[in-house]
Copies of this chain bind each other. A is one copy, B any other.
Amino acid sequence: MTTTTEAPAVATRKLTYVKAFNEGLAQAMREDDNVFVAGEDVAGYGGVFRMFDNLLDEFGPRRMIDTPISEAALVGLGVGAAARGLRPVVDLMFMDFIGVCLDQIVNQAAKMKYMFGGALSVPLTITTASGAGLGAAAQHSQSLEAWLAHVPGLKVVMPCDAYTAKGLTVSAIRDDNPVVVMLNKVLLGSTGEVPEEIYGIPLGRAHTARQGSDVTVIALGRMVGEALAAADELSAEGVEIEVIDPRTVQPLDTETMFASVRRTHRVLVVHEAVTFGGLGAEIAAQIQDAVFDYLDAPVLRIGAPFSPVPFSPVLEKAYVPDRARIAQGCRRLLERS
């Protein structure tokens, strides 16, 4: 089951990011009885971020499972259930907790189909909240997509708004592979237009969030909104930037990026993760390889400095990339001839 309903054209009402996620999940559960949710406080409490609000009422304890604090067993439960034909949605609460269960994600879920000679699929969805900005400090604020995107067999999506939170979640659940859905904590309460019906957003296809001719900005997750804000600021200065939201970082739709860079000749990649070894490196490496002759300037990367996420808001603010740094990066790129 890898078909994805394309999103309907007209959105009808505003919803928060977390409610959009919740609605997509609920609709996917209605669509397929094989979908169930397991995690810590996902059922009775509805999830510490309210991601699973009301789902226990509708779907009951058969399909909404509260588990002990046992992330390795939790993901393993998902792997085993997926191997036996269910479509588990397993919640890891904070992305930072993957350190206690990465073996099940990377050595089991991701490799099982391959190692088993294709004998099965592992249609497992892992949901988690990532990102800094809430003063949650070094162990509750990380963006670790670079680890996961480096693992053959996994897919990874990073919704940037309510609309993509719903559509990517639906597609993740419908997909026959293990998919990690990285929600962003700061975006949870942000609102956006969201169609009422169920829809999937194709995995592996980037979205051009804004068209522009001067600089291409490739932004991951929450940075899409920051890039769009920077675009407004720059537009007032007469600079038009194109904003590309990969939506899925594994597989990564580089064709859309290459096509854009062929037109703009300048490109900036921005993500919350630390710059060193972040996905900006992969994107930069691919772009300079594929469209080298089109580049008027090196690919510029903006990410977090090489340190753990600091607690104090004054440091955290300086740590996480924002619209100002993006705008400044674009200006720097344009200065370079």
Q: Mark A276-302, 1 if CB is under 8 A from B, else 0.
A: 111111101100111010010111110
C-alpha gap A285/B99 in the complex (Å): 27
**Stretch in contact with the other chain, from A16-24, A53-61, A148-156:** A148-156
Query: Given A111-B139, A138-B115, A308-B153, A280 and B285 touching (CB < 8 A)?
Result: yes
Copies in the complex: 2
Q: Does A65 count as interface, using CB distance less than 8 angstroms?
A: no
Is A146 interfacial (CB 8 A cutoff)?
yes
CA distance A104 to B103 in the complex (A): 14
Within the assembled complex, what's the spacing in Å between the Cα atoms of A38 and B102? 23
B114 close to A152 (CB less than 8 A): no
Is A297 a contact of B308 with CB atoms below 8 Å? no
A99 contact from B97, B106, B292, Cβ within 8 A? B106
> Residue A96 at the B interface, CB < 8 A?
yes
CB distance from A245 to the nearest CB of B (A): 19
Give every chain B residue within 8 A of A105 (Cβ-Cβ): 99
Bound-complex Cα distance A97 to B106 (A)? 11
**Mask: chain A, 123-156; 1 = CB below 8 Å from B; 0 = not:** 0000000000000011100000011011011000
Q: How far is the CB of A95 from chain B (nearest CB, A)?
A: 11
B279 near A289: Cβ-Cβ < 8 Å: no
- Chain B residue at minimal CB-CB distance from A301: B285
Chain B residues in 8 Å Cβ range of A295: 292
**Is B274 within 8 A of A299, CB to CB?**
no
Q: Please, what's the 1-or-0 string for A305-320, where 1 marks a CB less than 8 Å from any CB in chain B?
A: 0111000000000000
B282 touches A276 (CB 8 A): yes
Task: Check A72 for interface membership: any CB of B closer than 8 A.
Answer: yes
Question: Nearest B residue to A286 by beta-carbon distance?
Answer: B281
The answer to whether the Cβ of A5 comes within 8 Å of any Cβ in the partner chain is no
Scoring A residues 75 to 99 as 1 if CB is less than 8 Å from chain B, else 0, what string do you get?
0000000000000000000001111
**Interchain CB contact under 8 A, A100 and B72:** yes
- CB <8 Å contact, A307 and B114: yes
Quick check: is A107 within 8 A (CB to CB) of the other chain?
yes
Checking B99, B252, B273 against A102 with a beta-carbon cut-off of 8 angstroms, the contacting residue is B99
Closest to A296 in B: B292
Within 8 A of B (CB), among A136-192: 137-139, 146-147, 149-150, 152-153
B contact residues around A149 at 8 Å (CB): 276-277
Listed A/B pairs (25) with beta-carbon separation below 8 Å: A72-B100, A97-B103, A99-B102, A99-B103, A99-B106, A99-B107, A100-B102, A100-B103, A110-B308, A111-B308, A114-B307, A115-B137, A146-B150, A150-B273, A152-B306, A152-B307, A152-B308, A252-B276, A281-B285, A284-B284, A284-B288, A284-B289, A289-B298, A289-B300, A292-B295
